[in-house]
């Protein structure tokens, strides 16, 4: 993971994501997930593109399945966009960068 992409855990999810002052994009993923590996470079790019505007991070569902379960993540990769503590958008699957950019642009 790059320095711009945070790793969120069960322990810090509330403070890092729910209570964040800026919008947050959370990538729910796992090591064994092929589509997750496809979208990972896109998430890295977005972290650079939106630095200072959107916090971007990942949750490993194998290590932190309580968070994934709490937000109804049933397939991975799932990207959730949070604003003011609430999920405002959801993307499931490996989608083009342009699709994610369109969504992020609506929350900043």
d(CA 50, CA 14): 21
Runs of H (alpha helix) within the chain: 13, 34-49, 65-70, 97-107
Annotated catalytic residue within 33, 61, 80, 100: 33
The strand order across the sheet containing 5-7 reads 5-7, 55-60, 24-29, 78-83, 86-92
Q: Dihedrals φ, ψ of 60, to 5°?
A: -80, 115
Annotated catalytic residue within 24, 25, 36, 47: 36
Q: Is 36 a catalytic residue?
A: yes
As annotated, the active-site residues are: 33, 36
């Amino acid at each position: 993971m790059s320095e711009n992409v945070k790793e969120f855990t069960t322990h810090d999810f509330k403070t890092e994501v729910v209570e964040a002052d800026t919008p947050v994009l959370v990538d729910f993923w796992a090591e064994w997930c092929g589509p997750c590996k496809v979208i990972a470079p896109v998430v890295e790019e977005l972290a650079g593109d939106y630095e200072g505007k959107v916090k971007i991070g990942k949750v490993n569902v194998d290590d932190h399945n309580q968070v994934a379960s709490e937000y109804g993540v049933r397939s991975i990769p799932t990207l959730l966009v949070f604003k003011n503590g609430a999920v405002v958008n959801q993307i499931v699957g490996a989608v083009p960068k342009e699709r994610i950019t369109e969504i992020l642009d609506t929350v900043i």
